Amino acid sequence: MTGTHILILGGTAEARQLATELAVPGGARVTTSLAGRVARPRMPAGEVRIGGFGGAEGLAAWLRAERVDAVVDATHPFAEVISTHAARAAALTGTPLVALRRPGWHTGPGDRWHDALSLDDAAAQLPALGQRIFLTTGRLGLAAFAAFAELHFLVRSVELPEPPLPPHTETVLARGPFTVDGELDLMRTHRIDVLVTKDSGGPATAAKLEAARQLGLPVVVVRRPPVPEGVPAAEDVPGVLALLSRAAADRCP
């Protein structure tokens, strides 16, 4: 891929791994785009762009201006808006687009999982499951839980969550990876009886699931949205590199 320009829509560990693989001497020009929602993001190899593009049309204009040869959507599995914009921009410009999505989590023996289609759906299930909720869905979208004044929430996020929040909320600021022992201690200390999480996948935050299993706690799992229709996807960096090579071959005359 020497001489090509690849845009990585990043913010995940897998995006940083991909940038490291591509941004080598004599390799591709790599630009990673970060949303700018985290004050001190972990910076990837290569060039970095921070901030939005102005929707699908703005991204399409940037792809043309920067002569981008391929786009990799390696955003968080729940970053549905930017994934949709990327698919539209790729279609407008004829730029190859591939997605990098780490595998989701799966139940194991002893798990008590309850699927949810959205944060609102997750919130609606809580009164029947418990009173003290460990909420690990990130700092955005917590308005879905704000009306539940009878419940107590422990919210963990990398940065302060955005209001509105439930009336009875305690916040823990932390970034993974987390350990099972640490998660067990946290849940016991706060007398947690329900865990709520998004199906983000990956090992960095999976310890909470094992801790919930050991404690016999119900877990409400918000299922991830699908990759936009027609976008080829891989579960790891080698798979994405193979897709990029195939896309490059298909573009050669």
Q: Which domains does the chain have, with CATH numbers?
A: 5-102+226-251 (3.40.50.720), 112-222 (3.40.50)
Give the list of residues 6+ apart from residue 235 with CB closer than 8 angstroms, or none.
100, 101, 102, 103
What's the CA gap between 131 and 150, in Å, rounded? 8
Contact 140, 80 (CB under 8 A): no
For the chain, the average pLDDT equals: 94
Q: What is the pLDDT of residues 194-227, one digit of tens each?
A: 999 999 998 888 999 999 999 999 999 999 999 9
DSSP strand E in 94-244: where? 97-100, 112-116, 132-136, 152-157, 169-173, 194-198, 218-222, 233-234
Instruction: Please choose, from the candidates 65, 57, 46, the residue with its C-alpha nearest in 3D space to the C-alpha of residue 8.
Output: 46
pTM of the model: 0.87
| Helix residue ranges, H only, 23-173 | 55-65, 80-93, 119-125
pLDDT of residue 252: 63
pLDDT bin (cut points 50, 70, 90) of residue 42 is: confident
pLDDT of residue 143: 95
Q: What is the pLDDT of residues 164-185, one digit of tens each?
A: 999 999 999 998 899 999 999 9
